[in-house]
Amino acid sequence: MKSYRKELWFEVPTRRAFINITGQVEECLRESGVKEGLVLVNAMHITASVFINDDESGLHRDYDKWLEQLAPHEPVSQYQHNRTGEDNADAHLKRQVMGREVVVAITNGRLDFGPWEQIFYGEFDGRRPKRILIKVIGE
């Protein structure tokens, strides 16, 4: 069995953003040489997410609006976590809703997606370096 590991680093200039990382994951898959197996894509920070959905800008705006309604950033005083001196409690909650990681099957050397599926990095407390783990295993 082959195993491949790579970290992707991001520094999003805004507090929140959604970035399509499908191409970068596909490049890692090519580098791995794996034809049949699985790829794990994992946000390695507790205020960021990895998820699969459609690459449609209206949907991304809907996600942003919906998440802000579920866990508004302000007032920051509404969260117990922010009493530690931070202001990112909402980002922790948004990450919990959107998820930590995705696993995608690899078939014939390609990501085995359904129609319209793409992999996204969701940032909820940006403006600092963060990383994603890509782990490919298989034959």
- The domain limits of the chain are 2-138
SS3 52: strand
Q: What is the DSSP letter of 81?
A: G
SS3 61: helix
* Contact residues for 26 (Cβ-Cβ < 8 A; gap 6+): 110, 111
CATH fold, domain 2-138, is Jelly Rolls (2.60.120)
**pLDDT in single tens digits along all 139 residues of the chain:** 999 999 999 999 999 999 999 999 999 999 999 999 999 999 999 999 999 999 999 999 999 999 999 999 999 999 999 999 999 999 999 999 999 999 999 999 999 999 999 999 999 999 999 999 999 999 9
User: 127: closest CA among 20, 47, 21, 44?
Assistant: 47
pTM of the model: 0.96
